[in-house]
Amino acid sequence: MKAESPRHLLRNPSLLILILLAAAALVQIAMAAEPEQTPAAQDAAVHIVYVDRPEGADAEEFHIRTLAPVLGSEEKAKDAVLYHYKHAASGFSAKLTPAQVEDLKKQPCVLQVTPSQTYQLHGSEGGHAGTTRTMGLM
């Protein structure tokens, strides 16, 4: 059986138009499926938010109620929180834009909002295996 080349599509313009329309529809569906990120959402970074939680208040509920006015709803706040800190300190981590950080700092119960950072305590920095980097603790 002889394989046909794509040239036969050029002889039938209605088939070519139908294929192009189908391809355009698939592109539109794919673009609609991906939520478009605003420039502010692209600037979002993980922050740790320390709060002054009233004694006896449930930590997770209090964190959600603190973040909800900034994000617009408790549902959005629940989705945004990455971790709840409940023992040594009260707070939470969430991915926030710079504008959201500023709004959150205005909440009366918020003590501090700081960008999350990862430190490497031991490593081969400078080519010396097993060295320790001092981070202002000594």
Q: Which residues contact 39 (CB under 8 A, 6 or more apart)?
A: none
Q: Look at residues 71, 73, 90, 83 and name the one whose alpha carbon lies nearest to residue 116.
A: 83
Asked whether the predicted pLDDT for residue 138 surpasses 50, the reply is no
Residue 88, both tokens: 């040594």
Amino acid symbol at 23: A
Asked whether the predicted pLDDT for residue 67 surpasses 90, the reply is yes
The pTM assigned to this predicted structure is 0.58
What is the model's pLDDT at position 31? 57
Residue 15, both tokens: 């088939």
Question: What Cα–Cα distance (Å) separates residue 97 from each residue in 75, 128, 129?
Answer: 18, 38, 38
Q: Look at residues 61, 70, 60 and name the one whose alpha carbon lies nearest to residue 98.
A: 70
pLDDT band at 40 (very low <50, low <70, confident <90, very high): low
Asked whether the predicted pLDDT for residue 88 surpasses 90, the reply is no
What is the model's pLDDT at position 136? 46
